[in-house]
Amino acid sequence: MKQILSKLIPLDGTINTRDLGGYVTEDKRKVKYKKIVRTDALHQLSEKDISFLLDEYHPSFDIDLRSPREALSRPDKKIPGCLYISCPISEDLNNRAIAKHVDYQIDDKSLSGIISYIYQLDENGDISTAMESVYEEFVLTEFGQKHYSLFFKTLLKNEIGSVLFHCADGKDRAGIASALFLSVLGVPFSDVLNDYLMTNIYTKNKAEHREKQLREIYHVKDEVLISSVKAIAGVRDNWLKAAFKAIETHYQSLENYFHKALNFSAEEIEKLKSLYLN
């Protein structure tokens, strides 16, 4: 049976907000609708967005997976009755040694920051496989595991209402969180991967806009860098697969990862299923 894809929630202030309801597990149970929502950052929510979320989703928790610096620079809009949870998966995304690279004289701070980050990952500006190590770090470092554990412990508290969770773009740290969540519920990995790759649909315009900036405004000729800038607006299947391969290599199974790395018991997994599956 062909799985439905997660449902886009159209908001004024986000581009990648999706209801994870509807996915069917291996044992034919279904993820509940209006119970858990993955999204990009919530700092630009409009009053209309907030009213819609309150009316339709009754959010109880807003789990922010961004680093403290990111959260401080662009704080989430407050949603009445929704408890904000700081749950950073990395202490600081830009904690790598900055590699030497061509100074492109790009005055767009966001785009310039993206390029600097790309060169931090790979001295040639090629992130096609370099992002795999980032994903591995998210799931293997003690810091990342501590906060993915907090993410799942918070999900257990959601008896009534829904949970919103996000990072900056709702694709990497939130993408892993979503993949771990769906996988531990028993959703087939092929559907988990398809859900992860859906980000590329909603970030396509952003990727194309960045490419246009590089080519037409800043006259960048490096096709590798242009490809990387476009790629990092979205996701690639090998990045998520690298995270799950790292889990399998170090913990032998996803269940062991939950037990040993996330301190999440078999009883808690069953409670998670009772809360989020029909």
The answer to whether position 19 is within a domain reads: yes
Q: Read off the pLDDT band of 1 (50, 70, 90).
A: very low
How far apart are the C-alpha atoms of 155 and 152, rounded to whole Å? Answer: 5
The answer to whether position 2 is within a domain reads: no
The answer to whether position 1 is within a domain reads: no
The answer to whether position 254 is within a domain reads: yes
The pLDDT, as a whole number, for residue 98 is: 52
The answer to whether position 14 is within a domain reads: yes
Percent above pLDDT 70 for the chain: 94
How far apart are the C-alpha atoms of 159 and 161, rounded to whole Å? Answer: 7
Amino acid at 180: L
Q: How far lies 97's CA from each of 94, 118, 123, 125, 126, in Å?
A: 8, 12, 11, 14, 16
The pLDDT, as a whole number, for residue 3 is: 58
Strand 162-166, strand 83-86: pairing: unpaired
Q: Read off the pLDDT band of 105 (50, 70, 90).
A: confident
Check which CATH number belongs to the domain holding 43 and give it.
Answer: 3.90.190.10
- The pLDDT of 135-154, averaged and rounded, is 98
DSSP type of residue 104: -
How far apart are the C-alpha atoms of 138 and 141, rounded to whole Å? Answer: 6
Report whether pLDDT(69) > 70.
yes
* pLDDT tens figures, 165-189: 999 999 999 999 999 999 999 999 9
Q: Read off the pLDDT band of 95 (50, 70, 90).
A: low
Q: How far lies 40's CA from each of 8, 209, 236, 276, in Å?
A: 12, 18, 17, 21
- Rounded to 5 degrees, what are φ and ψ at 95? -105, 15
Report whether pLDDT(109) > 90.
no
Average pLDDT, the chain: 94
> Do 130 and 120 meet the contact criterion of CB atoms below 8 Å apart?
no
How far apart are the C-alpha atoms of 68 and 136, rounded to whole Å? Answer: 21
Terminal CA-to-CA distance of the chain, rounded, Å?
A: 18
The pLDDT, as a whole number, for residue 102 is: 62
How far apart are the C-alpha atoms of 60 and 80, rounded to whole Å? Answer: 9
How far apart are the C-alpha atoms of 187 and 131, rounded to whole Å? Answer: 25
Q: How many CB atoms lie within 10 A of CB 261?
A: 19
Domain ranges, residue 176: 7-276
- The pLDDT of 72-79, averaged and rounded, is 97
Report whether pLDDT(4) > 70.
no
- The pLDDT of 238-260, averaged and rounded, is 98
Percent above pLDDT 90 for the chain: 88
> Do 182 and 6 meet the contact criterion of CB atoms below 8 Å apart?
no
Report whether pLDDT(236) > 80.
yes
The pLDDT, as a whole number, for residue 103 is: 67
Q: How many domains does the chain have?
A: 1
Report whether pLDDT(206) > 50.
yes
The pLDDT, as a whole number, for residue 91 is: 87
